[in-house]
Chains A and B, each alone.
Chain A
Amino acid sequence: MKKRNFLLKHSYERRTTSDMVFDAINHIFLIIVCLLIFYPLYYVLIASLTDPTVVNTGKLLFYPENLYLEGYKRALEYPSLTNGYVNTIQYTLMSVVVSLFTTIPAAYALSRKDLPGRKTIMFLFTFTMFFSGGIIPMFLTIKSLNIYNTSWALVLPAAVSVYNLIVCRSFFESALPIEILEASKIDGCSDFAFFFRIALPLSSTIIAVMALFYATSMWNTFFNALMFLQDDNKMPLQVVLRNLVLSNQLSAGSSGAEIAERRKIIDQLKYVIITVAALPLIAIYPFLQRFFVAGVTIGAVKG
């Protein structure tokens, strides 16, 4: 059966020479592009493991020459690092839960064409993509809600991303054709029931996508943490890593040996920090790639 289909499918594909040339060039081109994209990340990884003097002379190309793990050692010894990691993981998980809880139901509701005032509500959301009061009022709001210097100060303002909301809404619009809804209504299904029993199970892909979007955003959060958190031990990873670089920069009055080590390290620390900050995300996302592509696909096509 498969073989027959295969034959059928490709029986029309007369491969002209121009096509074959095109294919060849296309393949080569895309593979090169792929390598070019990959190389900087790879370079950073190996640079974080190589002796800085080798890196500085620009000799480093494809594999770590002199393995030099002092940078990682210094980073792992940095007491706040584990703290930063734990904080970031905590904030990310909280953010995903809160954001899913806010975004998904709202997106579904807005996908229903029979929702009165749908256009107005949509406009109200979109409007905020361009106008915001600025950081001072946001700071004042956070203070008056008493969430300053708590994890909520990071999670709540980021609970909804209007962009994500739009993507999610589109997903519901295309994945849930009106026929299903009408049929269920005939059976006496309420909106809630429809949402929880039919819509949600069908939307595992978009939920995974939204989770990944929000998680990425919270994982990379830096500026908001700097402004809305005060205690050092609440700082997330990106802030901690910046401090690590800053604390290894020279301060006046250090003794000779200390400076030597620091100077050598400071270049390498940059690579270590980039790796430590980005690695977890980059390592995870290929596994979610399945959901990811499918979800964004369906969500975006209908627009």
Chain B
Amino acid sequence: MQKILKQSNQSKNIKFRIYQVVKSYQLYILLIPALIWLALFCYYPMYGLVIAFKDFKIRRGILNSPWANPIFKFFEQFFSTSIAKTVIVNTLLLSAYQLLFTFWVPIVFALLLNQIKRPMLKKTIQTVSYAPYFLSNVVLVSVISVLFSANGIINNIIVENGGTVKLFTSQAQYFRPMYIGSTIYQTMGFNAIIYIAALTNISPEYYEAAMIDGASKLKRILYIDIPLIMPTVILMFILSLGNIMTIGYEKAYLMQSPANTTVSEIISTHVYKVGLQSAQYSYATAVGLFNSVVNFIILFLANLLSKKTADISIF
């Protein structure tokens, strides 16, 4: 009896599912352009990842090229010299430091800006703050290189005040600060928008209640603002965490100099240089694949953790 019930329930489920799908056909139609894009430009080219396991022969194309012998040959090549350790460590450190130093800056900025009541002033500051977002990496690095060069204005100020010339653009010890600093410059205002928005959504009743109790501004920030934007914060954190190993190569590549590659050579710049400039495609794809897999694992774990503890997740 139960079996029959179960079966009929199952078939009912399937029928129901089909009904649901058909009913929503219009929504699917709305999805079509995006799905076509997804198939053509994301999943179709993914077959290219298989290059990492093949001895790519261009005349035969990717699919007909022979398998690498042994199959993990290029991964072996990557891990056989010190370059693997260098780039992995650099990538992890750069992303970790970046996350550490850039994550909280927009939040603090938003919290402070929220306390400014004059609308004109608030708007002006906010507008200026996300202007840098519109600068491309090429432009940004050019700005940095002219301002921080040995003859640039920053060094002139330092020298006039009795200091020695600092080699911001070439020495290794300045690379990470410059990189992260420029990221903060680029993204602080833009990322703050989300938090400012969340803050304006806070009902004034909370403030009124707090003020009646005599809470100072600082207390109000600590006990009202911060807790109430926490969900947003956590979500943004997960998203950033997921990017921990896919720092794009562009800015690091532009900021590289021979003296700082010990910290500036990250996985993506190595892949770019070896893959595209020296045409070692299989090797470069293998390294890139390694990068993506690790990245994905980190994101998945973070998502899982956040789901379990705070019930917030991306998927």
Contacts and interface: CB of A to CB of B under 8 A. Distances in A.
Touch A–B, Cβ below 8 Å:
yes
Contacts of B285: 134, 136
Contact of A102 (B33, B49, B142, B314): B33
B136 interface: yes
A115 B23 CA distance: 10
A297 to B, nearest CB: 3
B46 A297 contact: no
B76 interface: no
Contacts of A216: 133-134
B246 interface: yes
Interface stretch (B7-15, B90-98, B122-130): B122-130
B127 A278 contact: no
Given A26-B116, A133-B45, A278-B139, A37 B312 contact: no
A300 B197 contact: yes
B99 interface: no
A274 B143 contact: yes
SS class, residues of chain B in contact with chain A: helix
A19 B221 CA distance: 12
A129 B42 CA distance: 9
A249 interface: no
Interface residues of B, number: 93
A296 interface: yes
Contact of B24 (A47, A116, A157): A116
Interface in A264-284: 267, 270-271, 273-274, 277-278, 281-282
A300 B198 contact: yes
Given A12-B208, A19-B216, 4 more contacts: A130-B299, A301-B198, A303-B231, A303-B232
Interface of A: 12-14, 16, 18-19, 22-23, 26-27, 29-31, 33-34, 37-38, 40-41, 43-44, 47, 56, 58, 60-61, 101-103, 105-106, 108-110, 112, 114-117, 119, 121-126, 128-138, 140-141, 145, 156-157, 159-160, 165, 190-192, 195, 216, 219-220, 222-223, 238, 242, 267, 270-271, 273-274, 277-278, 281-282, 285-286, 289, 292-293, 296-298, 300-301, 303
